Structure 1
Amino acid sequence: MLPSLHRMFSARPAVLNGSLCRGLCTLESVFMQKRPYSPSTERKKFYESVSISQGEGGFEINLDRRKLKTPQGKIFTVPSEPLAIAVATEWDSQCDTIKFFTMHLTTLCNTALDNPTHRKKEHLISASLKFLDTDTVCYRVEEPPRLVEFQTNEWDPVLQWAENRYDVAIGSSTSIMGPVIPDQTKEVFHRHLASYNSWSLIGIEFMVTQLKSLILAMGLVDRFLTVQKAVLLSRLEEEFQIQHWGNVEWAHDYDLQELQSRTAAGTLFVHLCSSSSIIKHKLLQD
């Protein structure tokens, strides 16, 4: 039987124990609007049990007695046991039909293993870093006054955290061109991103793309923000409109849950790719 993800993170900070696990639980019920790499959308389920085994290159997923493979036919091998458990949970949760669009962690792993666009580490860093020039939290409006106040109250603390955390100047602007980000700030973020391995960078880029913000993504990675808070901040203007005009459940709620699911998966992926490779299992005594 697969270990419970909730038990895996029971000793972690609240952002992992609460936000990420709740977000992961929604993976089965929402669509992934922007998939990194996936072979198809659905397929009839062909297995009954899911298990994990340790191979030469890492941890493998077994569907009955078959080894899971990537779209390019490689053995699906991940670098850490916690990540293998999370991926196996996605496969174990599928019903009669395998819905690949709900399996965010699996598709992120496929992207890392097959690397279909042949990107190197520097490409991954640049892909995330380019969002700094158009970062969501840096673009401000001049009116209406209530929205200006809303942005100031919600975004300024995150911006101040980032400037203090990385000892950089970022700033904000009401200009359509956005703020002018100093080259030194970009260099600092470049060095910081370079400290992550390629797998983690794939997850970070996925998070940045969902939130349209490098600052919010790093706030999640650094556990300064919860998934729910980061998503709220990325949708601040939309949330303001909902407060003013009301919520359309079939549209707004769906979009919100979908974005939370993708963001939670990306954040979880980054943390699991950075964790120790083996979980210490307790020996059951009679």
Structure 2
Amino acid sequence: MSDWKPKRFWKMSAVVETDEGFTVELDGRRVKTPAKAALTLPTRALAEAISVEWGAQEKVVDPGTMPFTRSANAAIDKVRHQHSEVAEMLAAYGDSDLVCYRAERPASLIERQTEQWDPALDWAAEALGARLFPVAGVVHQPQSPAALAELRRRVHEMSEFQLAAFHDLVSLSGSLVLGFAAAQDWRDADEIWRMSRLDELWQEEQWGEDEEASAHAEIKRRAFLHAKRFFDMSQ
């Protein structure tokens, strides 16, 4: 495997407004995506975040320190060309949503799921017009076709930038409802993330913390919070 990384060749990064939106220039040269598409961004806030990332690079470019750039590249190079497929994949989470499938025992876990997840379902019914119902056990039980159709419509309406962020909000949490809840500021994103890990946190209380699992969960938490910031900057 090659250790080659592109070297920094520019002195200044700057945000430039275009007819299509905003972009970032490096010494007057416009940044392109890995697929050589124009890095055209929907908001100045997002362009500024990306410009800061390019300006912070030192001798070589480290993509690991450029999350906003990577997310924008994914939106342009991938989601834009597969928008319908990505939207359909995410909408499918609604029919087997994490917050709908409840434990059958013990009572303490059932109570915690009810306390934290029922309000999320109530919020979705009111804010999204989609009432999903909780079920006990792991056997799939279909939800209301009308509710799922409304959730699907809302997902398909997102721009490629919103959808790129929403992909991570849903896939990392395992919940279409919690993905929408984070995107629409139902509660603080960190709180919603903890809600998505309710079962794992309950297990930790019973049996103790697994350091490796906790470290992996922290990586996912940071990715979830980044996705929320990217979603907000995309609109």
User: TM-score normalised to the size of structure 1?
Assistant: 0.73
How far residue 70 of structure 1 moved from its aligned partner, in angstroms, is: 0.7
Amino acid in the other structure paired with 1:91? W
Q: Are the counterparts in 2 of residues 41 and 99 from structure 1 also a CA contact under 8 Å?
A: no
79 and 167 in structure 1: CA distance in 2 versus 1, 3 angstrom threshold: closer
Q: Are the counterparts in 2 of residues 41 and 101 from structure 1 also a CA contact under 8 Å?
A: no
Match of 2:205 in 1: 243
How far residue 249 of structure 1 moved from its aligned partner, in angstroms, is: 4.1
Which of 212, 216, 224 lines up with 1:263 in the alignment? 224
Pairing 1:166–2:128 present = yes
Amino acid in the other structure paired with 2:222? S
What are the within-5 Å matches in structure 2 for residues 144-183 of structure 1?
A: 144-183=106-145
Amino acid in the other structure paired with 2:223? R
Question: Secondary structure of 1:53's match?
Answer: strand
How far residue 96 of structure 1 moved from its aligned partner, in angstroms, is: 4.7
How far residue 245 of structure 1 moved from its aligned partner, in angstroms, is: 2.4
72 and 167 in structure 1: CA distance in 2 versus 1, 3 angstrom threshold: closer
Pairing 1:49–2:12 present = yes
- Counterpart Cα distance in 2 of 1:58 and 1:89: 18
Task: Please list every run of 5 or more consecutive structure 2 residues that lacks an aligned counterpart in the other structure.
Answer: none
What are the within-5 Å matches in structure 2 for residues 192-271 of structure 1?
A: 192-249=154-211, 251-252=213-214, 254-271=215-232
Q: Are the counterparts in 2 of residues 172 and 179 from structure 1 also a CA contact under 8 Å?
A: no
Give the root-mean-square deviation of aligned CA atoms: 2.5
Which of 71, 74, 78 lines up with 2:37 in the alignment? 74
How far residue 195 of structure 1 moved from its aligned partner, in angstroms, is: 3.4
Deviations 1:4-40 (A, max 9, x none): xxxxxxxxxxxxxxxxxxxxxxxxxxxxxxxxxxxx9
Aligned length: 233
- Please identify which structure carries the higher helix content: 2
116 and 216 in structure 1: CA distance in 2 versus 1, 3 angstrom threshold: closer
Question: Secondary structure of 1:73's match?
Answer: coil
Q: Are the counterparts in 2 of residues 52 and 59 from structure 1 also a CA contact under 8 Å?
A: yes
Match of 1:106 in 2: 69
Higher relative contact order (CA 8 A, sep 6+): 1
- Counterpart Cα distance in 2 of 1:42 and 1:210: 31
Amino acid in the other structure paired with 1:232? R
259 and 94 in structure 1: CA distance in 2 versus 1, 3 angstrom threshold: farther
Amino acid in the other structure paired with 2:228? T
Which of 68, 90, 94 lines up with 1:132 in the alignment? 94
- Counterpart Cα distance in 2 of 1:48 and 1:147: 56
- Counterpart Cα distance in 1 of 2:130 and 2:77: 36
116 and 221 in structure 1: CA distance in 2 versus 1, 3 angstrom threshold: closer
Question: Secondary structure of 1:127's match?
Answer: helix
Runs of 4+ in 1 over 4 A off after TM superposition: none
Identity %: 25
Greater displacement, 108-117 / 146-155: 108-117
Amino acid in the other structure paired with 1:262? A
Q: Are the counterparts in 1 of residues 31 and 39 from structure 2 also a CA contact under 8 Å?
A: yes
How far residue 95 of structure 1 moved from its aligned partner, in angstroms, is: 4.6
Deviations 1:43-63 (A, max 9, x none): 354144322122333212123
Match of 1:90 in 2: 53
Task: Please list every run of 5 or more consecutive structure 1 residues that lacks an aligned counterpart in the other structure.
Answer: 1-39, 275-286
User: TM-score normalised to the size of structure 2?
Assistant: 0.87
Q: Are the counterparts in 2 of residues 53 and 62 from structure 1 also a CA contact under 8 Å?
A: yes
- Counterpart Cα distance in 2 of 1:241 and 1:45: 46
Question: Secondary structure of 1:78's match?
Answer: coil
